[in-house]
Structure 1
Amino acid sequence: MLSTSINPHPIIVRPRLLDTIDRVSEMCFGLFMALTFVGAVSAVTAPQDAGRTMLHTALGCNLAWGLVDAVMYLVRTLTERGRRLSLAQAVRNAKDPSVAVSSLRDALSPAWQALVDDAELESIRSRLAKAHDLPDKPALGPQDFLAAAGIFLIVVLATFPVALPFVVFREVSTALLVSRALTIVLLFAAGVALGRHAGFRGWIAGLAMTVLGIALTVAIVLLGG
């Protein structure tokens, strides 16, 4: 969606490193990755060193996927920034104002197209036409790399609540119980955060996320994940 307000650096400024959806989504991603290893543990057949082996394996997996997710975040950010820059340059260089306004309207999501009239889009077009500080090409800044590092850390840190109990507790059955309890708490907290962010009731969203997370974990394990 194209913002209807233009700041002095509309293309390159990111207000926050990661918003609520980014943080919760990455935490859940790391959580599910770690859960694929926990789901394969049997309290009956697990060897004595199963806990450390699982922690090392789960941590290695999340280190790898955290790196992939961080890099793809940078790719996605640069791509989206390039798309917006291309639109801004096309609008600024358009000889026919109506064509520029049409381009701005096409960039809006369907839900916003009905809420923004041509007069507002013309105001944006006029301001873009006078802008002289647009970059020549999209680029990544320090904030983007900090956000990517944040994604990496969130995915990696999500490993420990799930896998660490198998190192702390010698009894695999106890470790399984603690691991699953921590997982449910984290899923519930993630749902509450998303629910409040979206304007829903926190506890209902928390319960929904818990049920969804359990269902996804079962599906991942059954599919051989």
Structure 2
Amino acid sequence: MNTRPSPRQAIPEKREPILNAVDRVTELCFGLFMALTFVGAIKAVTADEDAGRKLFLAALGCNLAWGLADAVMYLVRTLADRGQRLTLALTVKREPDRATAVRALRDALPKALEPLVDDDELEQIRARLAAAATLPPRARLRRDDFLGALGIFLLVVASTFPVALPFLLVRDHTTALVISRVLTLAMLFTAGFALGRYTGAGAMKAGFAMTLLGVVLTAAIIALGG
């Protein structure tokens, strides 16, 4: 059976996962680093008996703000990337000269893929775009994009709680800070482990590398008075 799209049909854009493993891990690490640095900074100027609650609220508020900013930037990046792809497709579709259209497709290829794709394959893509009856007039955000932005927001905010909860549950602030930092390093190791396993870079190696990054950041915070 011929599965190629009919020339009269628009070529549908491939649906991507709402958030892939790399997105989830990097956003989780981003939230952890934000909470870690912010808690250290607030601790340096907070010493009263209500410091624990203030530290918790400060870390939560920080990650609420940055989670919202990161979610909005995710939507901006998604729309910009989709618009760039649509512009390329429209350019190729409207270009009467085949060689020029193929050259435009080649220029858009990542450098690592360029030697692997020959002009005949690019010509097939050009022909399919030229035969497409319609293409979207402009790039738009879809429902899945907003779900992805919500997922990023929740990941950044959720990463606050393991870092900040000890300040609510442990009365001694020094002990709470130690527990908070140990939990953060443990979560960073888990995130690095998952990222290394997903990318094939070595799960244990990536886990220890992410933990080392957390240790260096923590040492910098302490050196700066946090």
TM-score with structure 2 setting the length: 0.88
Distance 2:73 2:167 in 1: 31
- For the 8 Å contact 2:197–2:203, the answer to whether it is kept is yes
User: How do 1:1-225 and structure 2 match up within 5 A?
Assistant: 8-10=11-13, 13-40=14-41, 41=43, 46-219=47-220
Q: Which runs of 5+ in 1 are unaligned?
A: none
Distance 2:224 2:92 in 1: 48
Displacement after TM superposition at 1:72 (Å): 0.8
Q: Show CA shifts across 1:150-184 (max 9, x none).
A: 11111111111101111011122321222112111
Displacement after TM superposition at 1:131 (Å): 1.4
Residues paired across the two proteins, number: 217
Displacement after TM superposition at 1:58 (Å): 1.0
Distance 1:22 1:182 in 2: 21
Q: Which runs of 5+ in 2 are unaligned?
A: none
Displacement after TM superposition at 1:221 (Å): 6.6
Shift of the 222–95 alpha-carbon distance from structure 1 to 2, 3 Å rule, reads farther
Distance 2:38 2:188 in 1: 17
Sequence identity (%): 58
Q: Show CA shifts across 1:39-79 (max 9, x none).
A: 2437xx83321111011111111111111111111111111
- For the 8 Å contact 1:192–1:206, the answer to whether it is kept is yes
Q: Show CA shifts across 1:104-145 (max 9, x none).
A: 110011111111111111111111111124200000011000
Shift of the 119–59 alpha-carbon distance from structure 1 to 2, 3 Å rule, reads same
Distance 1:182 1:101 in 2: 53
- For the 8 Å contact 1:32–1:217, the answer to whether it is kept is no
Distance 1:154 1:91 in 2: 39
Distance 1:187 1:104 in 2: 40
Distance 2:120 2:59 in 1: 55
Distance 1:208 1:200 in 2: 11
Distance 2:77 2:221 in 1: 26
Give the residue type in structure 2 aligned to 1:9. P
Indicate the larger mover: 52-61 or 173-182: 173-182
- For the 8 Å contact 1:14–1:143, the answer to whether it is kept is no
- For the 8 Å contact 2:40–2:221, the answer to whether it is kept is no
Shift of the 221–133 alpha-carbon distance from structure 1 to 2, 3 Å rule, reads farther
Distance 1:215 1:144 in 2: 34
Give the residue type in structure 2 aligned to 1:150. G
Shift of the 220–173 alpha-carbon distance from structure 1 to 2, 3 Å rule, reads closer
Distance 2:225 2:138 in 1: 43
